Structure 1
Amino acid sequence: MNPKRESGLKLLVALAALALPGAPMSVSSAWAFSLDDLNPFGPSKYEQKVDPQVPADHFYNEGLTKLEKGDYEGAAKKFGDMQKKYPFSQWARKALLMEVYANYRDGKATDATTAADRYLSLYPTTPEAAYATYLAGQALFENMPDIHRDQAGMAKAMRYFQTVVDKYPKSDYAADARYKLQVARDQLAAYELNVGRYYMKKENYAAAINRFREVLFKYQTTREAEEALERLTECYLAIGVTPEAQTAAAVLGANFPNSPFYQDAFDRLKGQGLAPKESQDSWISKIFRKVGMS
């Protein structure tokens, strides 16, 4: 038999054996081979594996387990990964809310508010929307800086808490949000006062007055309003605007008659032969008439 024909016949027999499921093939056979033998570039370099489909609730429960163990960073990552893998499932919404919570517990205010904002943009009408809003405010609130540092975070926390009060007044979080709003206002007022006192020391009275003005315009119901009025008395006396100094002291006395700040303002006026006297045309008088305090 022609050698080429013999070789071709043997290859045909071997291929036929592969094509027939029941055909026996001896490993020791001289003609046994794998499909890689037909690959002109050699055997496959990488083994291909099929990644089994992991159910969504499995990912979610893994995140909960990490939360229980105090691994908040790992939990946030697990919930985030689950959303990427199942973006249109009911578990994605739950995972996003838990991502907010995990970041909050981890003290990562920026990550918590980012996740909360995403939740509110995707699911604004869900029953958990109030909770997501409250958590965002709480994450910022618990990272409250001292009054010598920038208060942008507290101002943002106030916006979240105000949303809870305005949009979800009957929710379980409304009462605490109202309380946190008052604390945040006190904090921001104290910051403005601190900056105003700094300008006073520098004898930059115009800048100081602007800061005390902010306290009365934005935070007039806080305890810092008393000191702001007394400081205004000082500043206006320093620049010779006595009617405003007298008005600040008069409004202070009318609203906080037992305040030590009123006594200080009264003494400063008395030292210059003046007394508290309210001018109805003063911006100070108008502010307090507007809120019904004076």
Structure 2
Amino acid sequence: MFPLHIFIKSFAISRLLLIALLALSSSGCSWFDTDKANAEAAAKEEKEDDERAGWTVDQYYDEAKEELMAKNYEKAIKLYEKLEARFPFGVYSLQSQLDIAFAYYKHGEPDSAIAAADRFIKMNPSHPNVDYAHYLRALVNYNRGITFLDRFMPTDSSQRDPGSARDALKDFDDLLVRFPHSPYAEDSKLRIAALRNNLAMYEINVADFYMRRGAYLAAARRGVEVVQKYQRTQAVPKALKMMEQAYRTLEMNDLADDAARVYALNYSGNTLAEREMQELTPAEQVWDFIGFDR
């Protein structure tokens, strides 16, 4: 009689081989379908290029602008690229450089958007719309790291990596210095205020992390940085309280008294500041409920 265990083993191996063959067959079909789709897309694009062979710069720009306004950003980018390649000089080419930077930004390609904005700034430093290129560069950095969920859920933006926020702050500051009367100046000021608050709260979050782990001196230093660099933000009273607590724990009472005195002079009796000290953001409430560190 054929041994049962050998039969079972052979059956299992055969089954595995069948699954592997089906997987290879499926992936092969997937590759074929992808190649077919790419070939069809390339043929369609080539046909469209042939149809545009006699187009004027006006026609190229109008078509690209229409695609941009319809939020067909990928198609708009390709049209702007072709316009610049065929008509590298003139008003339309310059405007296309700005439009393609915006298209890259909306298409979710921040590095390409910044590269396009930088190229326009470098090549056209005295252009009347160069302030827009600076503004767009800042806007790209301002929105880096914001995910789909961040737009629809209560998240704490001060929890994100501050690198892009610092870049955006520098870009907006640079815009205001260079173009104080720009139509984008007022919006830039509002965004600078939001960025400073977020960066200050990021430092508070780091200080809180240190406090939880008994690194009181490191926490106090973060508090000092907030007080020095981010004055007139909602994080300052929190920083002062944290500094006082850290210095008291370290028995550095003179420094603790100084922090308490500054708080008393500026925030004692300020009900708004007191309330902000006690309230948590929605993201912080969720974090505390789950039991994670903020």
What range describes the TM-score normalised by the shorter chain of this pair?
0.5 to 0.7
- For residues 34-183 of structure 1, the aligned pairs below 5 Å read 52=53, 54-143=55-144, 145=146, 146-183=157-194
Shift in Å, 1:109: 2.7
Give, as a single letter, the amino acid of the residue that structure 2 aligns with 1:174.
A
CA 1:169–1:144: 2 relative to 1, 3 Å = farther
CA 1:196–1:123: 2 relative to 1, 3 Å = same
| Larger mean Cα displacement after TM superposition, 149-158 or 206-215 | 206-215
Give, as a single letter, the amino acid of the residue that structure 2 aligns with 1:183.
A
CA 1:67–1:52: 2 relative to 1, 3 Å = closer
Residue equivalent to 1:226: 237
Aligned equivalent of 1:250, options 243, 255, 261: 261
Shift in Å, 1:97: 0.5
TM-score by length of structure 2 reads: 0.67
Give, as a single letter, the amino acid of the residue that structure 2 aligns with 1:87.
P
Counterpart of 2:127 in 1: which secondary structure? Answer: coil
Counterpart Cα distance in 1 of 2:115 and 2:221 = 33
Identity among equivalent positions (%) equals 28
Counterpart of 1:258 in 2: which secondary structure? Answer: coil
Residue equivalent to 1:9: none
Shift in Å, 1:165: 1.4
Counterpart Cα distance in 2 of 1:221 and 1:259 = 14
| Contact 2:237-2:267 at 8 Å conserved across structures | yes
Counterpart Cα distance in 1 of 2:83 and 2:222 = 48
| Contact 2:158-2:201 at 8 Å conserved across structures | yes
Bigger relative CO (Cα 8 Å, ≥ 6 apart) = 2
Shift in Å, 1:225: 0.6
| Contact 1:133-1:160 at 8 Å conserved across structures | yes
Shift in Å, 1:139: 2.4
Larger Cα-atom Rg: 1
Shift in Å, 1:178: 0.8
String of CA shifts for 1:224-254, please: whole Å, max 9, x gaps: 0110011000111111111000000101111
CA 1:210–1:78: 2 relative to 1, 3 Å = farther
Structure 2: 5+ residue runs without aligned partners?
1-49, 147-156, 278-294
Counterpart Cα distance in 1 of 2:195 and 2:218 = 23
String of CA shifts for 1:33-57, please: whole Å, max 9, x gaps: xxxxxxxxxxxxxxxx9x9454333
Counterpart Cα distance in 1 of 2:266 and 2:109 = 42
How many residues align structurally? 215
| Larger mean Cα displacement after TM superposition, 90-99 or 195-204 | 90-99
| Contact 2:145-2:160 at 8 Å conserved across structures | no
Counterpart Cα distance in 1 of 2:202 and 2:78 = 36
Residue equivalent to 1:43: none
- For residues 181-260 of structure 1, the aligned pairs below 5 Å read 181-259=192-270
CA 1:212–1:77: 2 relative to 1, 3 Å = farther
Residue equivalent to 2:33: none
| Contact 1:99-1:115 at 8 Å conserved across structures | yes
RMSD: 2.4
| Contact 2:165-2:199 at 8 Å conserved across structures | yes
Larger helix proportion of the pair: 2
CA 1:254–1:114: 2 relative to 1, 3 Å = same
Counterpart of 2:159 in 1: which secondary structure? Answer: coil
Large movers: runs of 4+ above 6 Å: 260-263
Counterpart Cα distance in 1 of 2:140 and 2:185 = 16
Counterpart of 1:222 in 2: which secondary structure? Answer: coil
| Contact 1:144-1:154 at 8 Å conserved across structures | no
Structure 1: 5+ residue runs without aligned partners?
1-48, 266-294
Give, as a single letter, the amino acid of the residue that structure 1 aligns with 2:131.
A
Counterpart of 2:269 in 1: which secondary structure? Answer: coil
